[in-house]
Structure 1
Amino acid sequence: MKTVAFYRIGMIICTSSILLLLISSLIYNLLPDNDIPQMLLLRDDNGRIIGDAPFAPSWQFPFGTDREGYDIGYKLLEGAVYTIGAAIIISLLSFIVAFGIGIIGGFSKFRVKSFAHKFFTSFYFIPQSIIAYNILYPVIWEPMEGFTTTLSERIVIEVLVLAIITVPTTAILISNETEQILGEEFITSATVLGGSPLFIFYKHVLPHLKMRLFIIYPKIVIQMLLIIAHLGFFTLYFGGTDVCYTPFCHPPKPFIQEWSGMMGTSYKELGLSWWIFMGPLLCFTVTTLLLNGIVKCIEGLIDHEPYKSKQTSRENETHSFESHSKQEKFLFIKN
């Protein structure tokens, strides 16, 4: 029981930390006066200049400032809702589509299923960031004549593309889990008794599969965060990359203040003002660790606690046998 309580507390802490970060970022973005503090020059009590941007991490600036004097801590808080929120929404769309395809694939017995399985398995070995880069580059990279799409349209296109890219691997995983459950003896018994595929899915497959789904979804979110981070290093920022083609202008920069854009524009600072790059990298790392913590806690609960789906499955199996036995009728034919 102590082990079960440990996993439950761990899952609550990890989930609450992510929700707290998201809610705090959302509230900050909704504030009417949410300008990021800026300090280009630091003066002493006599008004003399004693420092200029960028400032290293200190009590006044826990995450330091960038070269324009903006507080990195506030920039990270502002970008959390865009980065984590985008990963959660994209992963949810991908998960819903993959769930439908995976369940159908698990129940399907067509010959084309074997070919489709082998084809989509190749996505495990092809870096999804490269696929996303090649598809999204014409959409996100600003051309010389300017964007012909709005920011909202680019975000919608990027969300859909990233969701579709992660569908094949997730669908195969769910399909394999479904096939494994369908191979159990109680499924064979339910089929012999005349259970329809819909009945078998709802009463037998889903109770065994649902806990596994709670493990799969956080892994998709982690995968999506990695893809978004990789695109940031490729200077493809979420919502579009603002490119200037005139001489002596700024380098490519993001339209939205989010973590991958902050890393993509500051990785060259690693040997100079290291904190400008390490701030968003730290946020990505902590978020990934929290999501991994959720996965490990759910796996621990499954291993150490007889969750209700097993009992529900046995009850449903017994009920299925009894109901079919009661409905069974014998006809006697008299000569």
Structure 2
Amino acid sequence: MLTRAPRRGARLLGPVQWVALAVVVLLLVAALAPSVLAPGDPFAIAPAEAFLSPRWGHPFGTDESGRDIYTRVVHGAAPSLVIGVAATAIGIGLALVLGLAAALLGRVVDFAVSRLLEVLFAFPGLLLALLVITVYGPGVVTSTIAVGLATAPGYARIIRAQARSVAGAPYVEAAVVLGRSRARILGRHILPNAVVPVFVLVTLGVGQAIVWAAALSYLGLGAEPPAAEWGAMLFAGKNYLATAWWMTFFPGLAIVLSAAATTVLGRLLQRREVR
């Protein structure tokens, strides 16, 4: 008896991938339409309800000002995701410039860019972000740029290697022989084949950027309380760990789930790309 082979997508999407996809969908809904999940005001204070533990009506409890933590976590998805996506975009944009320049503009430029990347790689990513903030001062914009700059060297090295490989491919050499312009070769052959596979890594980078941005906010170098941003909520709740654990547990859980979900989906896209 013949049986139909399972579809390729069905084989790739296991229970873990479905859960990750569901988490990402919830994050997107929370970021784009937070009032659907939490219609309350994330900044509304109620001093008489301060430090309430999780219960009916306040499933994540309340903070020191009586603000509902569930509402703040849901509304905090937008700034946290925006910071993660913006930082990743900055890293990818800078990496495109450095990686393509190193791969296509000759040995002198390649040597200079390679040495620059080696210097940047000598610093751990988060330490490099801290150095940028030390120079330019704390803040949401500064921390976003700092995280983007810290992630750029890794992307640049990948793009450089990919572009060098594509530039030596037979179809590129054939285009050169046929007299195609350098701009056409770059736009039609090198960029699509060298850069598009790198964008699979964006899903991995967003999760990392969210974690790093939250870490900077936790240190008081990013968004500041009472902002409804996950890292800022961790910063506000760190003084109440012994008496109000829920103030840090639920924002921290949101950070972990978002980073894990985007990482799982990124790995899934990588496997599809390999196949």
Verify the 8 A CA contact 1:63 1:275 in the aligned structure 2. yes
Report how far residue 176 of structure 1 moved: 1.4
Report how far residue 278 of structure 1 moved: 0.9
Report how far residue 258 of structure 1 moved: 0.9
Is 2:53 aligned against 1:34? Answer: no
SS of 1:111's equivalent in the other structure is helix
Among 164, 175, 182, the residue aligned to 1:190: 175
Paired residues, what number?
266
Is 2:118 aligned against 1:84? Answer: no
Aligned partners of 1:115, 1:155: CA distance in 2, in Å?
Answer: 31
Report how far residue 181 of structure 1 moved: 2.1
Aligned to 2:27: 18
Aligned to 2:274: 303
**Kindly tell me: are residues 224 and 12 of structure 1, through their superposed partners in 2, closer, same or farther at Cα, counting changes over 3 Å?**
closer
Verify the 8 A CA contact 1:26 1:81 in the aligned structure 2. no
Larger radius of gyration: 1
**1:26-65 matched pairs, under 5 angstroms:** 34=41, 36=43, 38-41=45-48, 53-65=50-62
Deviations 1:46-86 (A, max 9, x none): xxxxxx74222223321122233221111112222111112
Report how far residue 87 of structure 1 moved: 1.7
**Kindly tell me: are residues 38 and 158 of structure 1, through their superposed partners in 2, closer, same or farther at Cα, counting changes over 3 Å?**
closer
Aligned partners of 1:65, 1:22: CA distance in 2, in Å?
Answer: 21
**Structure 1: which 5+ residue stretches go unaligned?**
42-51, 142-153, 242-253, 305-335
Verify the 8 A CA contact 1:235 1:264 in the aligned structure 2. yes
**Structure 2: which 5+ residue stretches go unaligned?**
1-5
Aligned to 1:291: 262
Aligned partners of 1:56, 1:209: CA distance in 2, in Å?
Answer: 52
Report sequence identity in percent.
19
Specify the code of the residue in structure 2 equivalent to 1:289: A
Aligned to 1:130: 127
Report how far residue 212 of structure 1 moved: 1.3
Report how far residue 194 of structure 1 moved: 3.2
**Kindly tell me: are residues 18 and 263 of structure 1, through their superposed partners in 2, closer, same or farther at Cα, counting changes over 3 Å?**
same
Verify the 8 A CA contact 2:159 2:195 in the aligned structure 1. no
Q: Which has the larger share of helix?
A: 2
SS of 2:241's equivalent in the other structure is helix
Among 191, 194, 200, the residue aligned to 1:206: 191
Specify the code of the residue in structure 2 equivalent to 1:102: G
Report how far residue 102 of structure 1 moved: 1.9
